[in-house]
A and B are shown apart, each in its own frame.
Chain A
Amino acid sequence: MPERHEIVCYECGFAFVLQGRFEKTYCPKCRQCLTFETITIDGVSRRTVKTIGVVTVTPAGKIAGGRIVATDVILAGAINGGQVCVSRRLELREGATFKPDCVSMRDVRIHAGARIALDHDLVCRDLEVDGFLKARVHADGLIAVRRGGFLSGEIHGPRLAVQDGAGLSAVLDVGPGCAPAAPRKTSTAPAEKPTLSQPETRPEKKKRAPASRKGKPRKAAQNKST
Protein backbone atom coordinates (compact mmCIF):
# COMPACT_ATOMS: atom_id res chain seq x y z
CA MET A 1 0.00 0.00 0.00
CA PRO A 2 1.34 3.46 -0.77
CA GLU A 3 2.49 5.50 2.16
CA ARG A 4 -0.17 7.57 3.83
CA HIS A 5 0.60 11.17 4.75
CA GLU A 6 -1.43 13.26 7.14
CA ILE A 7 -0.90 16.81 5.99
CA VAL A 8 -1.74 20.07 7.71
CA CYS A 9 -1.60 23.13 5.48
CA TYR A 10 0.80 25.62 6.99
CA GLU A 11 -1.19 28.54 5.61
CA CYS A 12 -4.77 27.82 6.56
CA GLY A 13 -4.43 24.87 8.93
CA PHE A 14 -6.64 22.55 6.88
CA ALA A 15 -5.88 18.89 7.52
CA PHE A 16 -6.11 16.28 4.81
CA VAL A 17 -4.63 12.93 3.83
CA LEU A 18 -2.60 12.00 0.78
CA GLN A 19 -1.20 8.69 -0.31
CA GLY A 20 1.85 7.98 -2.35
CA ARG A 21 4.95 9.91 -3.19
CA PHE A 22 4.93 13.56 -4.10
CA GLU A 23 7.14 16.62 -3.93
CA LYS A 24 4.42 19.19 -4.04
CA THR A 25 0.74 19.31 -3.46
CA TYR A 26 -2.01 21.86 -3.17
CA CYS A 27 -4.20 22.52 -0.19
CA PRO A 28 -7.78 21.62 -1.12
CA LYS A 29 -9.04 24.57 0.84
CA CYS A 30 -6.80 27.55 0.16
CA ARG A 31 -5.03 26.15 -2.92
CA GLN A 32 -1.68 27.03 -1.45
CA CYS A 33 1.22 25.12 -2.93
CA LEU A 34 2.72 22.93 -0.22
CA THR A 35 6.19 21.49 -0.60
CA PHE A 36 7.14 18.12 0.82
CA GLU A 37 10.79 18.41 1.76
CA THR A 38 13.02 16.69 4.25
CA ILE A 39 15.37 19.34 5.59
CA THR A 40 18.41 18.87 7.79
CA ILE A 41 19.83 21.73 9.84
CA ASP A 42 23.38 21.11 11.00
CA GLY A 43 24.59 24.60 11.69
CA VAL A 44 23.31 27.92 12.93
CA SER A 45 20.10 28.70 11.09
CA ARG A 46 18.16 31.93 10.85
CA ARG A 47 16.23 31.18 7.70
CA THR A 48 12.56 30.64 7.06
CA VAL A 49 11.58 27.12 6.13
CA LYS A 50 8.12 25.89 5.26
CA THR A 51 7.49 22.26 4.53
CA ILE A 52 4.93 19.57 5.10
CA GLY A 53 7.75 17.13 5.62
CA VAL A 54 10.29 16.58 8.36
CA VAL A 55 12.91 18.98 9.64
CA THR A 56 15.85 17.42 11.44
CA VAL A 57 18.12 19.50 13.66
CA THR A 58 21.35 17.63 14.22
CA PRO A 59 23.38 17.86 17.45
CA ALA A 60 25.46 20.56 15.80
CA GLY A 61 22.38 22.39 14.61
CA LYS A 62 21.07 25.51 16.23
CA ILE A 63 18.04 27.55 15.35
CA ALA A 64 18.77 31.13 16.32
CA GLY A 65 16.15 32.96 14.30
CA GLY A 66 13.82 32.81 11.38
CA ARG A 67 10.72 30.70 11.15
CA ILE A 68 10.41 26.99 10.66
CA VAL A 69 7.11 25.37 9.83
CA ALA A 70 7.01 21.61 9.46
CA THR A 71 4.84 18.61 10.10
CA ASP A 72 7.43 16.82 12.20
CA VAL A 73 10.62 18.11 13.77
CA ILE A 74 13.38 15.87 15.06
CA LEU A 75 15.45 17.89 17.50
CA ALA A 76 18.90 16.83 18.59
CA GLY A 77 20.31 20.33 18.71
CA ALA A 78 19.08 23.58 20.15
CA ILE A 79 16.29 26.03 19.52
CA ASN A 80 17.33 29.33 21.02
CA GLY A 81 15.40 31.80 18.93
CA GLY A 82 13.06 32.33 16.08
CA GLN A 83 9.80 30.47 15.82
CA VAL A 84 9.35 26.75 15.24
CA CYS A 85 5.83 25.60 14.46
CA VAL A 86 5.34 21.86 14.46
CA SER A 87 1.95 20.80 13.23
CA ARG A 88 2.25 17.22 14.40
CA ARG A 89 5.11 15.84 16.44
CA LEU A 90 8.27 17.13 18.04
CA GLU A 91 10.76 14.36 18.70
CA LEU A 92 13.44 15.12 21.26
CA ARG A 93 16.68 13.23 20.99
CA GLU A 94 19.74 13.20 23.17
CA GLY A 95 21.19 16.65 23.64
CA ALA A 96 18.04 18.51 22.62
CA THR A 97 17.29 21.84 24.24
CA PHE A 98 14.65 24.40 23.39
CA LYS A 99 13.01 27.51 24.71
CA PRO A 100 9.28 27.04 25.27
CA ASP A 101 8.43 30.45 23.80
CA CYS A 102 10.05 29.51 20.51
CA VAL A 103 8.33 26.20 19.88
CA SER A 104 4.73 25.23 19.35
CA MET A 105 3.84 21.60 18.79
CA ARG A 106 1.02 19.16 19.14
CA ASP A 107 2.59 15.89 20.24
CA VAL A 108 5.95 15.18 21.82
CA ARG A 109 8.08 12.08 21.73
CA ILE A 110 11.16 11.44 23.81
CA HIS A 111 13.42 9.19 21.81
CA ALA A 112 14.96 6.13 23.40
CA GLY A 113 18.34 7.08 24.78
CA ALA A 114 17.45 10.74 25.15
CA ARG A 115 17.77 12.37 28.54
CA ILE A 116 15.71 15.53 28.72
CA ALA A 117 15.25 17.73 31.76
CA LEU A 118 13.01 20.77 31.32
CA ASP A 119 12.75 23.74 33.63
CA HIS A 120 9.50 24.85 32.06
CA ASP A 121 6.10 23.21 31.71
CA LEU A 122 5.68 20.80 28.82
CA VAL A 123 2.28 21.39 27.27
CA CYS A 124 1.16 19.04 24.52
CA ARG A 125 -1.58 16.77 23.37
CA ASP A 126 0.05 13.34 23.40
CA LEU A 127 3.36 12.50 25.04
CA GLU A 128 5.34 9.37 24.34
CA VAL A 129 8.33 8.62 26.55
CA ASP A 130 10.88 6.09 25.38
CA GLY A 131 13.84 7.73 27.07
CA PHE A 132 14.23 9.80 30.18
CA LEU A 133 12.16 12.90 30.82
CA LYS A 134 12.01 15.14 33.81
CA ALA A 135 9.35 17.80 33.46
CA ARG A 136 6.01 19.15 34.55
CA VAL A 137 3.74 17.67 31.93
CA HIS A 138 0.34 19.05 31.03
CA ALA A 139 -1.33 16.98 28.35
CA ASP A 140 -4.70 16.97 26.65
CA GLY A 141 -4.44 13.44 25.38
CA LEU A 142 -2.49 10.31 26.20
CA ILE A 143 0.73 10.19 28.19
CA ALA A 144 2.43 6.91 27.38
CA VAL A 145 5.57 5.67 29.10
CA ARG A 146 7.05 2.75 27.23
CA ARG A 147 9.23 -0.02 28.49
CA GLY A 148 12.66 1.39 29.15
CA GLY A 149 11.36 4.91 29.54
CA PHE A 150 11.40 6.95 32.71
CA LEU A 151 9.16 9.88 33.53
CA SER A 152 9.86 12.11 36.48
CA GLY A 153 8.21 15.28 37.76
CA GLU A 154 4.52 16.09 37.58
CA ILE A 155 1.85 14.68 35.34
CA HIS A 156 -1.47 16.34 34.63
CA GLY A 157 -3.80 14.96 32.02
CA PRO A 158 -6.82 12.84 31.29
CA ARG A 159 -5.06 9.64 30.20
CA LEU A 160 -1.97 7.75 31.29
CA ALA A 161 -0.58 4.43 30.15
CA VAL A 162 2.52 2.84 31.61
CA GLN A 163 4.06 -0.25 30.10
CA ASP A 164 5.60 -2.99 32.20
CA GLY A 165 9.26 -2.15 32.61
CA ALA A 166 8.77 1.61 32.54
CA GLY A 167 9.81 3.85 35.38
CA LEU A 168 7.74 6.53 37.02
CA SER A 169 8.64 8.96 39.78
CA ALA A 170 6.05 11.67 39.68
CA VAL A 171 3.14 13.39 41.27
CA LEU A 172 0.09 12.41 39.29
CA ASP A 173 -3.24 14.01 38.62
CA VAL A 174 -4.65 11.75 35.96
CA GLY A 175 -8.24 11.05 35.10
CA PRO A 176 -11.09 11.99 32.82
CA GLY A 177 -11.92 15.04 34.88
CA CYS A 178 -8.38 16.33 35.16
CA ALA A 179 -7.82 19.28 32.88
CA PRO A 180 -4.28 20.52 32.21
CA ALA A 181 -3.51 23.47 34.44
CA ALA A 182 -1.26 25.33 32.02
CA PRO A 183 -2.69 26.87 28.88
CA ARG A 184 -1.89 24.88 25.79
CA LYS A 185 -0.03 26.50 22.91
CA THR A 186 -1.72 26.40 19.56
CA SER A 187 -0.26 24.38 16.72
CA THR A 188 1.07 25.52 13.39
CA ALA A 189 -2.32 26.59 12.08
CA PRO A 190 -3.00 30.29 12.33
CA ALA A 191 -5.28 31.30 15.13
CA GLU A 192 -7.93 32.57 12.77
CA LYS A 193 -8.81 30.28 9.96
CA PRO A 194 -10.17 31.94 6.85
CA THR A 195 -13.93 31.68 6.78
CA LEU A 196 -16.46 32.71 4.24
CA SER A 197 -17.92 36.03 5.16
CA GLN A 198 -21.59 35.71 5.98
CA PRO A 199 -24.00 38.36 7.06
CA GLU A 200 -25.12 38.01 10.61
CA THR A 201 -28.79 38.26 9.70
CA ARG A 202 -30.24 36.97 6.53
CA PRO A 203 -33.28 38.70 5.11
CA GLU A 204 -36.13 36.33 4.73
CA LYS A 205 -36.63 35.29 1.19
CA LYS A 206 -40.15 35.74 0.07
CA LYS A 207 -41.40 33.22 -2.33
CA ARG A 208 -43.00 34.74 -5.31
CA ALA A 209 -44.94 33.11 -8.02
CA PRO A 210 -43.02 32.47 -11.22
CA ALA A 211 -43.70 35.13 -13.79
CA SER A 212 -45.69 33.96 -16.73
CA ARG A 213 -43.77 33.80 -19.96
CA LYS A 214 -46.68 33.85 -22.33
CA GLY A 215 -45.88 35.98 -25.26
CA LYS A 216 -42.26 36.49 -24.25
CA PRO A 217 -39.78 34.53 -26.36
CA ARG A 218 -36.96 32.86 -24.47
CA LYS A 219 -33.52 34.27 -25.01
CA ALA A 220 -31.96 30.85 -25.30
CA ALA A 221 -34.35 29.89 -28.05
CA GLN A 222 -33.48 33.08 -29.92
CA ASN A 223 -29.75 32.37 -29.62
CA LYS A 224 -30.13 28.87 -30.94
CA SER A 225 -32.13 29.96 -33.86
CA THR A 226 -29.49 32.56 -34.86
Chain B
Amino acid sequence: MDTANTQNMTVIGEDVEIVGSVKCSSSIQIDGKLNGDLTCSGKAVIGSGANIKGNLNVDAVSIIGQVNGNVTAKDIVELKASARMNGDVRGKRLVVEDGVTFVGKAEVNPSGAATGRPAPAESKPSAEPEAAAPQGDRDDDKKGGFFGKK
Protein backbone atom coordinates (compact mmCIF):
# COMPACT_ATOMS: atom_id res chain seq x y z
CA MET B 1 0.00 0.00 0.00
CA ASP B 2 1.34 3.45 -0.83
CA THR B 3 2.63 5.48 2.06
CA ALA B 4 0.77 8.45 0.67
CA ASN B 5 -2.48 6.60 1.02
CA THR B 6 -1.76 5.51 4.58
CA GLN B 7 -0.96 9.05 5.54
CA ASN B 8 -4.16 10.33 3.98
CA MET B 9 -6.41 7.71 5.54
CA THR B 10 -9.87 8.91 6.47
CA VAL B 11 -11.35 7.42 9.61
CA ILE B 12 -15.07 7.38 10.30
CA GLY B 13 -15.63 6.72 13.97
CA GLU B 14 -17.93 4.24 15.63
CA ASP B 15 -20.47 6.82 16.62
CA VAL B 16 -20.82 8.23 13.11
CA GLU B 17 -23.76 7.29 10.93
CA ILE B 18 -23.72 8.34 7.29
CA VAL B 19 -26.75 8.19 5.05
CA GLY B 20 -25.65 8.57 1.46
CA SER B 21 -22.74 7.74 -0.78
CA VAL B 22 -19.12 8.18 0.20
CA LYS B 23 -16.38 8.80 -2.32
CA CYS B 24 -12.71 9.06 -1.55
CA SER B 25 -9.51 8.87 -3.52
CA SER B 26 -7.35 7.69 -0.65
CA SER B 27 -7.68 5.04 2.00
CA ILE B 28 -10.61 4.99 4.35
CA GLN B 29 -11.48 3.19 7.53
CA ILE B 30 -15.12 2.95 8.53
CA ASP B 31 -15.99 2.01 12.07
CA GLY B 32 -19.48 3.44 12.08
CA LYS B 33 -22.61 2.95 10.00
CA LEU B 34 -22.98 3.70 6.33
CA ASN B 35 -26.31 3.50 4.52
CA GLY B 36 -25.10 4.02 1.01
CA ASP B 37 -22.42 3.13 -1.46
CA LEU B 38 -18.69 3.52 -0.94
CA THR B 39 -16.35 4.30 -3.79
CA CYS B 40 -12.68 4.34 -2.85
CA SER B 41 -9.59 4.49 -5.01
CA GLY B 42 -7.39 3.21 -2.21
CA LYS B 43 -7.80 0.59 0.45
CA ALA B 44 -10.95 0.45 2.53
CA VAL B 45 -11.08 -1.07 5.98
CA ILE B 46 -14.47 -1.97 7.40
CA GLY B 47 -13.94 -2.08 11.14
CA SER B 48 -15.32 -4.58 13.60
CA GLY B 49 -18.14 -2.32 14.70
CA ALA B 50 -19.00 -1.11 11.22
CA ASN B 51 -22.26 -1.82 9.46
CA ILE B 52 -22.43 -1.06 5.76
CA LYS B 53 -25.69 -1.23 3.83
CA GLY B 54 -24.67 -0.55 0.30
CA ASN B 55 -22.22 -1.50 -2.39
CA LEU B 56 -18.46 -1.15 -2.14
CA ASN B 57 -16.41 -0.24 -5.18
CA VAL B 58 -12.78 -0.18 -4.08
CA ASP B 59 -9.22 -1.05 -5.02
CA ALA B 60 -8.74 -3.25 -1.99
CA VAL B 61 -10.88 -3.92 1.04
CA SER B 62 -10.48 -5.59 4.39
CA ILE B 63 -13.78 -6.45 6.06
CA ILE B 64 -13.92 -7.11 9.76
CA GLY B 65 -17.49 -6.00 10.42
CA GLN B 66 -20.73 -6.38 8.56
CA VAL B 67 -21.51 -5.60 4.94
CA ASN B 68 -24.91 -5.95 3.30
CA GLY B 69 -24.23 -5.28 -0.34
CA ASN B 70 -21.98 -6.17 -3.20
CA VAL B 71 -18.23 -5.71 -3.12
CA THR B 72 -16.23 -5.05 -6.25
CA ALA B 73 -12.48 -4.71 -5.87
CA LYS B 74 -9.72 -4.24 -8.38
CA ASP B 75 -7.27 -6.12 -6.21
CA ILE B 76 -7.79 -8.00 -2.98
CA VAL B 77 -10.83 -8.63 -0.83
CA GLU B 78 -10.03 -9.80 2.67
CA LEU B 79 -12.69 -11.20 4.95
CA LYS B 80 -11.43 -11.47 8.49
CA ALA B 81 -12.69 -14.02 10.98
CA SER B 82 -15.43 -11.82 12.43
CA ALA B 83 -16.69 -10.55 9.08
CA ARG B 84 -20.26 -11.00 8.03
CA MET B 85 -20.80 -10.62 4.33
CA ASN B 86 -24.22 -10.63 2.77
CA GLY B 87 -23.86 -10.03 -0.93
CA ASP B 88 -21.67 -10.74 -3.90
CA VAL B 89 -17.91 -10.40 -4.02
CA ARG B 90 -15.98 -9.81 -7.17
CA GLY B 91 -12.25 -9.18 -7.27
CA LYS B 92 -8.88 -10.29 -8.40
CA ARG B 93 -7.88 -11.97 -5.15
CA LEU B 94 -9.83 -13.22 -2.19
CA VAL B 95 -8.73 -14.18 1.29
CA VAL B 96 -11.26 -15.66 3.67
CA GLU B 97 -10.40 -16.51 7.24
CA ASP B 98 -12.01 -19.33 9.17
CA GLY B 99 -15.08 -18.07 10.99
CA VAL B 100 -16.49 -15.79 8.34
CA THR B 101 -20.20 -15.67 7.66
CA PHE B 102 -20.70 -15.33 3.93
CA VAL B 103 -23.99 -15.55 2.10
CA GLY B 104 -23.87 -14.62 -1.55
CA LYS B 105 -21.80 -15.23 -4.59
CA ALA B 106 -18.06 -15.03 -5.09
CA GLU B 107 -16.29 -14.54 -8.37
CA VAL B 108 -12.54 -14.52 -7.96
CA ASN B 109 -10.00 -15.89 -10.38
CA PRO B 110 -6.45 -14.81 -9.60
CA SER B 111 -4.86 -16.68 -12.47
CA GLY B 112 -7.20 -15.06 -14.94
CA ALA B 113 -6.95 -18.04 -17.30
CA ALA B 114 -9.80 -20.41 -18.12
CA THR B 115 -9.04 -22.88 -15.37
CA GLY B 116 -12.22 -24.77 -15.97
CA ARG B 117 -14.57 -22.18 -14.66
CA PRO B 118 -18.04 -23.07 -16.00
CA ALA B 119 -18.30 -21.52 -19.41
CA PRO B 120 -20.92 -18.82 -19.72
CA ALA B 121 -23.72 -19.48 -22.18
CA GLU B 122 -22.45 -17.04 -24.79
CA SER B 123 -18.84 -18.18 -25.03
CA LYS B 124 -16.24 -20.91 -24.97
CA PRO B 125 -16.81 -24.61 -25.46
CA SER B 126 -16.86 -26.89 -22.45
CA ALA B 127 -13.53 -28.47 -23.34
CA GLU B 128 -10.95 -27.10 -21.00
CA PRO B 129 -7.36 -26.52 -22.05
CA GLU B 130 -4.89 -28.90 -20.45
CA ALA B 131 -2.30 -26.23 -20.04
CA ALA B 132 -4.56 -24.07 -17.95
CA ALA B 133 -3.44 -25.66 -14.72
CA PRO B 134 -3.39 -23.69 -11.50
CA GLN B 135 -0.07 -21.95 -11.29
CA GLY B 136 0.00 -21.15 -7.66
CA ASP B 137 1.01 -24.58 -6.42
CA ARG B 138 4.43 -24.25 -8.02
CA ASP B 139 5.12 -21.30 -5.81
CA ASP B 140 4.14 -23.11 -2.65
CA ASP B 141 7.65 -24.28 -1.97
CA LYS B 142 8.89 -20.71 -1.95
CA LYS B 143 6.24 -19.13 0.13
CA GLY B 144 4.82 -20.23 3.44
CA GLY B 145 1.39 -18.79 2.88
CA PHE B 146 -1.63 -18.74 5.14
CA PHE B 147 -1.83 -22.49 5.45
CA GLY B 148 1.92 -22.99 5.74
CA LYS B 149 3.97 -25.33 3.70
CA LYS B 150 2.33 -28.48 2.44
Contact between B134 and A112 (Cβ–Cβ < 8 Å)? Answer: yes
Q: A168 on the interface (CB 8 Å rule)? A: yes
A174 B118 Cβ-Cβ under 8 A:
no
Which residue of A has the minimal Cβ distance to B112? Answer: A167
Chain A residues 132-175 with CB under 8 Å of chain B are 132, 134, 142, 144, 146-150, 152, 159-175
Closest to B118 in A: A152
Question: A144, B147: Cβ atoms under 8 Å?
Answer: yes
Residues B104 and A172 in contact, CB atoms below 8 Å apart:
yes
CB of B103 within 8 A of CB of A163, answer: no
Q: Mark B88-112, 1 if CB is under 8 A from A, else 0.
A: 0000011111111111111111110
User: How many angstroms between the C-alpha atoms of A131 and B108 in the bound complex?
Assistant: 15
Q: How many residues of B contact A (CB 8 A)?
A: 39
Q: By the criterion CB–CB under 8 Å, are A167 and B111 in contact? A: yes
| Smallest CB gap from A171: residue in B | B105
Known: A150-B116, A150-B134, A163-B146. A169 touches B107 (CB 8 A): yes
Q: Are B106 and A168 in contact (CB under 8 A)?
A: yes
Interface residues of A in 114-142 (CB under 8 A from B): 115, 117, 130-132, 134, 142
* Residue numbers in A under 8 Å from B2 (CB-CB): none
**Other-chain contact of B96, A115, A161, A165, A177 (Cβ < 8 Å):** A161
Asked whether A165 lies within 8 Å of B108 as measured between CB atoms, the reply is no
Would you list which residues of chain B between 133 and 148 have a CB under 8 Å from chain A? Answer: 133-140, 143, 145-147
Contact of A134 among B106, B118, B135, B143 (CB under 8 A): B118
Given that A152-B117, A159-B98, A175-B101 are contacting pairs, would A168 and B108 also be in contact in the complex, using a CB cutoff of 8 Å? yes
Q: Out of B99, B108, B138, which one reaches A167, CB within 8 Å? A: B108
Residue of chain B at shortest CB distance from A170 = B106
The reply to whether B135 and A115 form a contact with Cβ atoms under 8 Å apart is: no
- Cβ contacts under 8 Å, A178 to chain B: 103
- Whether the Cβ atoms of B136 and A166 lie closer than 8 Å is yes
Q: Is the CB of A112 within 8 A of B146?
A: no
Indicate if B34 sits at the interface (CB-CB under 8 A).
no
Q: A148-B137, A160-B98 are in contact. Are A165 and B116 (CB under 8 A)?
A: no
Q: Across the interface, name the chain B residue whose C-beta is closest to A149.
A: B134
A-B CB contact pairs (8 Å), 19 listed: A112-B134, A115-B116, A117-B116, A150-B115, A161-B96, A161-B98, A162-B94, A163-B95, A163-B145, A164-B93, A165-B110, A166-B108, A167-B108, A167-B110, A168-B106, A169-B107, A169-B108, A169-B117, A175-B101
